[in-house]
Amino acid sequence: MWSSPIVLIEHHLVALPKALRDGVTGLQSYLDGVWASRSVFYAEDVENSASKQQPFLKFERRKGRETIKAGQYVGFIQYGGQTIQILPKVFKQGESDIALRHLLWWLDYSERVNFPFADLLSDSETIDNFPDALIRYFARFAHTLVNEQPYHQYQEVTETMTHLRGRLNIQGYVNNSLSRGNWHQLVCDYEPFQFNNRLNQIIKYVARQLTYLCRLETRRQLEQILFVLDEVDDCPCIAQDCDAVLLNRFFHQYEHCLDMCRFFLRHQYISQQDAQQRHFCFLVPMDRVYEDLIASVIKRTFTNQFTIKPQATDYLASRINSGDSLNGLHDKVFQIKNDLLLTSKKLGQKGEQLIVDMKYKIRQGNDEADKKAGVSQTDMYQMVSYALRRNTRQVLLLYPVRQGAEPTETVTFTVSSAMIGNEPIRIRAAELRITSDSRERMEAQLITDLESAFSFLGTL
């Protein structure tokens, strides 16, 4: 029986919940294993990918009490009958449903995270347990599919028989029959139209594994899939098996089902010693989700105003090795990667570049008393370096605002130096609303905020 989820906010430190106190060592070991064997489906920072210690949860003892702190990864962890849900920091405790609903919306914009659950919820449904909601959606979709549109496939079978069926497997007949004097035993290759095929085996395996990871009501829905697929063999499967399945256009709906199977097989970490081990997690770096959301909206909305180059990479400096200065042999070092590099198409400004950097941070102290307007000094150094390297005077920082808050006025900083002539570098910090009561309204107000930021730059 699964208990109510433990809810954590990204980067917030709280007292260790009582339900986790006896299992901290095992949970840490499990998360270290997840981190070590993770599927790399998004680009990682070098320093993060080199770390052997999991960055998802941090356990500490402070002032005589045990504490737990979530990192920058959001999603859920299921471990030993307990569910931990980690929400984005733009939300607060008590907003689990709306936070998880927004996470589903945001992930649909991401090009770096494979998440096939965009249509998971109807307007009337709520999410109180994130992993159970994913499994329930899969159970409903897969059961409807196998029940109403059962999948049969011609599948090659090799079998020894006394009469010829299909074609004779000459090599097998020579090795297994003639060489032993059993000339009457024919080794045949034929392709029967089978219900017991690899696709149905994958669906059945995934459904059976998920029965250990969900609530009773959802388990009953999964058992309906197992009942329909009773004649299908029980075969272990891995995510790569999904890639080997080829579907024709008459069964295109199975492609979505196959994507969900691939997702579950990729994110389930099942013990080889204990096939019923109830561990499951899905964790994504929220800064990447935020970057993909903003980049996707910009690319779909502002292509008439800008030529858009995402994740533009370059190097900040060259290292001159001793003895190589005369030969011109330099090593490029200190790689930079701009979230977006926009080139204006506007007449009179054609060719002018704008660096857009998405900062997944809540600007603290953004008021008149704070002359820095919540922009960190490190970010400012970074943007100046980017502008100098790209030979541009226009930089835009985009920050999210908390759920229910309104964006503050765009703040402009100028950086002047005799080295860059009379025209200063202009670095502007703007805020975006990335939450609303519907996905359509969220995207509409996000576009409005982006238009405001770009018009302030005079590039529209």
In three-state secondary structure terms, 11 is coil
Residue 260 CB: number of other CB atoms within 10 A?
Answer: 21
Q: In what order do the strands lie in the sheet with 57-62?
A: 13-15, 65-70, 57-62
Average pLDDT over residues 378-401: 90
- The yes-or-no verdict on residue 99 having pLDDT over 90 is yes
Single-letter amino acid, residue 81? G
Q: CA-CA distances (angstroms) from residue 446 to 289, 435, 438, 450?
A: 15, 9, 12, 6
- The yes-or-no verdict on residue 88 having pLDDT over 90 is yes
Residue 128 CB: number of other CB atoms within 10 A?
Answer: 13
- The yes-or-no verdict on residue 270 having pLDDT over 50 is no
Whether the Cβ atoms of residue 32 and residue 53 lie closer than 8 Å to each other: yes
> What is the pLDDT at residue 164?
86
Nearest CA to 397 out of 425, 430, 366 is that of 430
The token pair at 431 is 């805020």
Q: Identify the weakest region by mean pLDDT among 61-65, 322-326, 356-360, 439-443.
A: 322-326
Q: CA-CA distances (angstroms) from residue 59 to 32, 49, 191, 317?
A: 13, 21, 56, 39
Confidence band of 274 (pLDDT split at 50, 70, 90): very low
- 302-456 CATH: 3.90.1570
Single-letter amino acid, residue 70? A
Q: Which residues contact 375 (CB under 8 A, 6 or more apart)?
A: 363, 397, 411, 413, 429
> What is the pLDDT at residue 41?
41
Q: For the chain, give every domain's residue range.
A: 6-150+196-285, 156-191, 302-456
Nearest CA to 194 out of 140, 156, 145, 138 is that of 156
Specify the residue for token string 């998440």.
115
> What is the pLDDT at residue 335?
78
Q: Which residues contact 105 (CB under 8 A, 6 or more apart)?
A: 439, 442
> What is the pLDDT at residue 1?
52
pLDDT tens per residue, range 43-61:
455 445 556 788 999 998 8
- What percent of the chain is predicted at pLDDT more than 90? 38
